[in-house]
Amino acid sequence: MSRVGLVLVVLFLVVPVVEIAVIVQVGQQIGVVPTIVLLLVESALGAWLVRREGRRAWDAVRGAGGAGRLPSGELADAGLVLVGGSLLLTPGFVTDVFGFFLILPFTRPLARKALAWFVARRATAAVNRRMGPLGATPGKGGAWGRRVVPGEVVGDGRPDGPDGPEGPPDTPSPGRATGG
């Protein structure tokens, strides 16, 4: 089983047990009816927030597209609102805390930074698996089996250097073939 599959199995088994345990604890502290009312109020507040923040995120995506720029941050916000809304639809206090963290406008930038860090880390790991660690010498088991040939750079490589495209005629220099 892949690591992602294992994480999903654990989440689907552990999260409901944790949610039930927290609901029972809250119910024992404040009573059954107030616990149910609190869950219903959280759901209503969450639905209102998802609607408001989802509309704002969608408007931001459309505005960025209309301005001709890539809406990367706006798409991340829209995705976070979507995931947060899904968590708020799940009954329970623990998922509601995470859902509100992803949806609220003052905590979403923190969630966006965490998401960017996670995506960058996963992308780097994928590149390293595919091509070998960055900085590896390709000729020694690195990407594509290329060989590294030691050499020396002569000149700056510009065809129109200070002496024109060919340089001064018949001037011997390392790396340049001259007349004959």
In the prediction, which pLDDT does 106 show? 92
Task: Say if residue 147's pLDDT is above 70.
Answer: no
| Angle at 65 (CA atoms; ends 60, 67), nearest 5 degrees | 95
Q: How far apart are CA 132 and CA 58, in angstroms?
A: 39
Please give the average per-residue pLDDT across 105-123, as a whole number. Answer: 90
Q: How far apart are CA 22 and CA 90, in angstroms?
A: 14
Are 38 and 44 in contact by the 8 Å Cβ rule? The answer is no
Phi, psi at 126, each rounded to 5°:
-65, -40
3-state secondary structure 85-120: HHHHHCCCHHHHHHHHHHHCCCCHHHHHHHHHHHHH
Please give the average per-residue pLDDT across 138-153, as a whole number. Answer: 61
Q: pLDDT band at 168, cuts 50/70/90?
A: low
Please give the average per-residue pLDDT across 45-66, as a whole number. Answer: 91
Phi, psi at 141, each rounded to 5°:
90, 10
Each residue of 53-72: b (16+ CB within 10 Å) or e? Answer: bbeebeebbeebeeeeeebe
Neighbours of 103 (CB within 10 A): 26
**pLDDT tens digits, one per residue of 68-111:** 888 888 899 999 999 999 999 888 999 999 999 999 999 999 99
Are 85 and 54 in contact by the 8 Å Cβ rule? The answer is yes
Q: How far apart are CA 96 and CA 40, in angstroms?
A: 11
**pLDDT tens digits, one per residue of 122-139:** 888 888 777 766 555 454
Q: What's the longest Cα–Cα distance across the chain? A: 101
Q: For residue 51, which of 115, 103, 10, 101 has the smallest C-alpha distance? A: 103
> Rounded to two decimals, what is the model's pTM?
0.64
DSSP letters of 3-67?
Answer: HHHHHHHHHHHHHHHHHHHHHHHHHHHH-HHHHHHHHHHHHHHHHHHHHHHHHHHHHHHHHHHHT
74 or 160: whose pLDDT is higher?
74
